[in-house]
Chain A
Amino acid sequence: NAGVTQTPKFQVLKTGQSMTLQCAQDMNHEYMSWYRQDPGMGLRLIHYSVGAGITDQGEVPNGYNVSRSTTEDFPLRLLSAAPSQTSVYFCASSSKYGYTFGSGTRLTVV
């Protein structure tokens, strides 16, 4: 089925560890984005990309890096995990008129 695939679904990290959250879409959308969801705060935009080779910062970019080497993939990297990055992360792929979200990655930093 067409859509957005996120891996892993769950992850526990120790403070200071690094990891990459994977996101892939098969809808040939140019626009992809990463959000984090925290209780009482809705979803906040971390980084986004309007096409291969183009990325930009969203509302809460600190502590995260992204790259977009292909249209399909948009990985999110945590360089040195902190407890404040404990959250649920959603990747989204979109055309101008609609967004498709992945199923989310629940990350806990201890």
Chain B
Amino acid sequence: AQSVTQLDSQVPVFEEAPVELRCNYSSSVSVYLFWYVQYPNQGLQLLLKYLSGSTLVKGINGFEAEFNKSQTSFHLRKPSVHISDTAEYFCAVSEGGNDYKLSFGAGTTVTVRA
């Protein structure tokens, strides 16, 4: 079974500064990887996903993530954040194939300050 560890529970950052959210996973098979964002009092929105191919994945709102198989990581980055990026971010993994079950990390709360 797969599991996901988000290494930071809270990340404060100033507006226009870069941000990196760290995610490590464990799995014995090939995986699909996802980042979701949850704005206050809203549902989950897909930011980006890695299924196969290029290890650098670009998503919405200027976010990107890099899949590193040797380090079993899928870190999320944005070069310049805005106040509107204040949200909770979840890393998730599924083992692909015929297993659709998603396992989520505990979440990282990003607070952007002016």
Contact = CB atoms under 8 A, between A and B. Distances in A.
A45 interface: yes
A58 B101 contact: yes
A54 B15 CA distance: 48
Say whether chain B's binding surface is mostly helix, strand, loop, or mixed.
Answer: loop
B42 interface: yes
Identify which of B34, B42, B44, B46 gathers the most chain A CB atoms within 10 Å of its CB: B44
Contacts of B105: 42
Given A42-B90, A90-B43, A97 B51 contact: yes
Contacts of B103: 45
A41 interface: yes
A45 B101 contact: yes
Given A97-B49, A103-B43, 4 more contacts: A35-B104, A45-B103, A97-B32, A101-B44
Contact of B101 (A48, A102, A103): A48
A42 B105 CA distance: 6
B51 A42 contact: no
A42 B104 contact: yes
